[in-house]
Amino acid sequence: MIDLDFDRKHLWHPYTSLQEPLPVYPVVGAAGVHLHLENGTKLVDGMSSWWSAIHGYRHPVLDAAIKEQLGRVAHVMFGGITHEPAVELGKLLVELTPAGLDKVFFCDSGSVSVEVAIKMALQYWISKGQSSKSRLLTISKGYHGDTFAAMSVCDPVTGMHHLFNNVLLPQYFVPEPQIPFGRPCPAEELDTMRNMLVTHRHEIAAVILEPIVQGAGRMYFYSADYLQQVRQLCDEFEVLLIADEIATGFGRSGLMFACEHAGITPDILCVGKALTGGYMTLAATLCTSAVSSAISANGGVFMHGPTFMANPLACAAAVASIKLLCASPWQQHIAAIAAQLARELGPCLACHEVADVRVLGAIGVVEMHKPVNMADVQRFFVQRGVWIRPFGKLVYLMPPYIIGAAELSQLTAAIVAFTQTVSTQ
Catalytic residues: 15, 143, 244, 273
Residue 390 · residue 396 · CB < 8 Å: yes
Dihedral angle over CA of 269, 275, 278, 282, nearest 10: -70
User: What is the Cα–Cα distance from 89 to 374, expressed in whole angstroms?
Assistant: 38
Task: Please give the Cα distance from 137 to 209 (Å, whole number).
Answer: 9
d(CA 237, CA 240): 9
SS3 assignment, position 38:
coil
Q: Which amino acid, one-letter code, is at 285?
A: T
Cα 413 from Cα 425, distance rounded (Å): 19
Q: Which of 27, 79, 15, 14 is nearest to 53 (CA)?
A: 27
Question: Between β-strands 220-221 and 240-244, what pairing exists: parallel, antiparallel or unpaired?
Answer: unpaired
Please name which of 138, 153, 105, 80 lies closest in space to residue 295, comparing C-alpha atoms: 105
Cross-strand partners of 206: 136, 240
Outline where DSSP puts E strands in 239-388.
240-244, 268-271, 283-288, 354-360, 363-368, 386-387
Between the CA atoms of 292, 297, 300 and 306, what dihedral angle is there, to the nearest 10 degrees?
A: 10
What is the Cα–Cα distance from 354 to 371, expressed in whole angstroms? 11
- Please list the helix, strand and coil fractions of the chain in percent, rounded to the nearest 5, in that order: 40, 20, 40
Residue 141 near residue 214 (C-beta atoms within 8 A): yes
